């Protein structure tokens, strides 16, 4: 399964679930993976590295799944620390 495929699917699935939802109060939270600020109702929970992480979309969730499947959590954590 390619990353492009995951991203494409995530937009399709995302569109459906974001329709017809009540207006939330505007609390913005950063995505665990990409840092994108998201409304509270858009938050997805993805288990990664031993805890539930808040991500903005199925694309970011899919990346965390891939990283964990490949056992790359340590590298991922290092990469994030370098970026910050
Ligand atoms: Zn994200």
Q: How far is the CA of 50 from the centre of ligand 1 (A)?
A: 18
Burial class of 76 by CB neighbour count within 10 A (0 to 12, 13 to 18, 19+): middle
Domain count for the chain: 1
* 34 assigned to some structural domain: yes
Domain of residue 48, residue span: 3-14+26-83
* 41 assigned to some structural domain: yes
* 69 assigned to some structural domain: yes
Distances (CA, A) of 32 to 20, 39, 48: 26, 13, 10
Per-residue pLDDT of the chain (84 residues; tens, 9 = 90+): 676 766 676 666 665 565 555 555 667 999 999 999 999 889 999 999 999 999 999 999 999 999 999 999 999 999 998 876
* 19 assigned to some structural domain: no
Q: How far is the CA of 48 from the centre of ligand 1 (A)?
A: 14
DSSP H/E element including 38:
strand 37-39
Q: How far is the CA of 55 from the centre of ligand 1 (A)?
A: 5
Q: How far is the CA of 44 from the centre of ligand 1 (A)?
A: 9
> Looking at residue 41, what is its pLDDT?
87
> Looking at residue 18, what is its pLDDT?
58
* 20 assigned to some structural domain: no
């Amino acid at each position: 399964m390619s990353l492009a495929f995951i991203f494409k699917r995530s937009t399709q699935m995302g569109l459906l679930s974001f329709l017809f939802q009540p207006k939330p109060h505007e609390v913005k939270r950063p995505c665990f993976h990409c840092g994108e600020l998201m409304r509270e109702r858009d938050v997805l929970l993805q288990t990664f590295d031993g805890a539930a992480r808040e991500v903005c979309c199925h694309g970011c969730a899919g990346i965390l799944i891939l990283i964990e499947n490949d056992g790359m959590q340590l590298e991922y954590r290092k990469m994030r620390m370098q970026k910050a």
